[in-house]
Structure 1
Amino acid sequence: MAAASALYDIPGPKTRGRHRLYSLLALVGIAGLLSWVGYELVDTGQFSYTKWNPFQYKGIQRLLWHGLLNTLKAFGLAAAFALAFGVLFAAGRLSEHRPVRRFSTLVVEFFRAMPLLVMIFFIFVAMKVQPLWALVAGLTLYNGSVLAEVFRAGILAVPRGQREAAYALGMRKTQVMRHVLVPQANRAMLPSIISQLVVALKDTSLGFLITYEEFLHAGKLIATNLDYDLPFIPVVMVIAPVYIGMCLLLSWSAYAVERRGRRSVRLRGGPAVAPAGVPMGSPPEVGEHPVGQV
């Protein structure tokens, strides 16, 4: 028999039977829902040859591939700039100088509260910036502000004694931040950082509103084509798994980085300390120098 849990007792035969019944009912319900969705798709002709025919053409495939590359390009630029923006203004909010701290707080709170679509449209229309850079600028300002709060909260989450001990050893503030606080905060911040980068990846789809030729914009051109009987649902069924796959790949990459960080000597507290030459609590032998004496 399995060991008892500290949170609850091991379920008995009646409870296990009840759990099996609940699981079976849930599976039947999910199967019924999927069957109903499939029936509606077939009944409305979403799997007809006419609607799926465009995806076999080279021109359509190149259009989707070009849109995917543009999406990745916008995401790569926005992610790099947002991370740099977040680090810069998180450091500003942690600064000991009041003007720097207040200015950084004002910038972060303003762009974090501003709707992303409004920023993108303002940069694109009022400032007459090209669609790519308008999208990247909006994503950078919004996601960078959120990441600045993530970085600040991660640094402040490290126990205060770590900072005080580092200062007691004579470290400067930059050394304390680089060697003590940031390595310990990285593991706590990584899930939130990746979650925000996933949001940034999905928000690149707002580029189609300012005519940026990204992945969703390419799908929109195909879905609104009357020659293919408006294949909206087939386009969604093609585009959605690609977005989901990119987000899962990003999450898996973060998980791999986290696992590597757990094996890092730096994050584990450094290499093992060599045993002392004299046993703890025992005096040195006659004729020997005490440890540390020359």
Structure 2
Amino acid sequence: MRIGFIGLGNMGGPMALNVMKVGHTMVVNDIRREMAAPHLRQGATWADTPKAVAEQSELIFTSLPGPREVEAVALGENGIIEGAAPGTIYADLSTSSATLIRRIHGIFRAKGIHVLDAPVSGGASGARRASLAVMVGGDEALYNQIKPVLDAIGDKVTYIGEIGCGTIAKIVHNMVSICSRVAIAEGLTLGVKAGVSPRALLDAIQRGSFGQGRVLKESIPDTVFKGDFDNVSFALKLSRKDLGLATDLAKEYHVPMLVAGLVEQQLEEALQRGLGDKDSSAIFLLQEERAGVHVRDPMRP
């Protein structure tokens, strides 16, 4: 298959090399030609513009810093849209905007060009090892058509839904990851200042229910997705008690707890609204009410 790859940085560079390893012909482009040196040594062809890449490719990947770059490469002067023939497939691997990829999809569709959004997760090391998670949005038949190529990029390739859904999943994933890091930072600074060694503290967290992924593996699929908050594993009132102990300890040791303070307010509101005897995941009910949506999986029994 003739594949174009635009964006050969820390993520795109190794992804493109991994695609080449499984035998595909590669045309490459980057704003810095020197980034293509490893690919050219392996037999790739250089193209001066995204348009030139598109003219020579059946499938085009982009791996770019963000929405501005994606828009310029896809729709700008000498962009993909100017060179791609009808039937060409364009898959954006960037973490970008769902609104933008849906707009690109509409514009490209009018010219007979197919679009998928396929952002990746796993960092530069995952890109080198071809162990990335790939979250794909768009036509499922199109996804199935290029999945063998995506399998050269990552070992956790998943079809998420219609166009834009892969990007939304990646944005949510990153948001949860980033916010969790702030909460972890609060917890570790509290524990260390209160006298626990960093290594022992981390080991304790890793061995506990949070570190074992119980929220994602059990609580959300078994309780939240079913809306079964009366099946109590750990009562919300106990969550309020435990977090209060943490914020009290933080006051004693003068450790700021911005995230914990906000969560404490949420738990207090939940208690005032009579949710204390429900499962601790009933905190979802407050956010669902504010967002005007229920997080339920109709496929769950």
TM-score range, shorter chain: under 0.3
The TM-score, its normalising length taken from structure 1, stands at 0.23
Q: If each structure's helix is expressed as a fraction of its own residues, which one has the higher value?
A: 1
Q: Which has the higher contact order (CA 8 A, sep 6+)?
A: 1
The TM-score, its normalising length taken from structure 2, stands at 0.23
Q: If each structure's strand is expressed as a fraction of its own residues, which one has the higher value?
A: 2
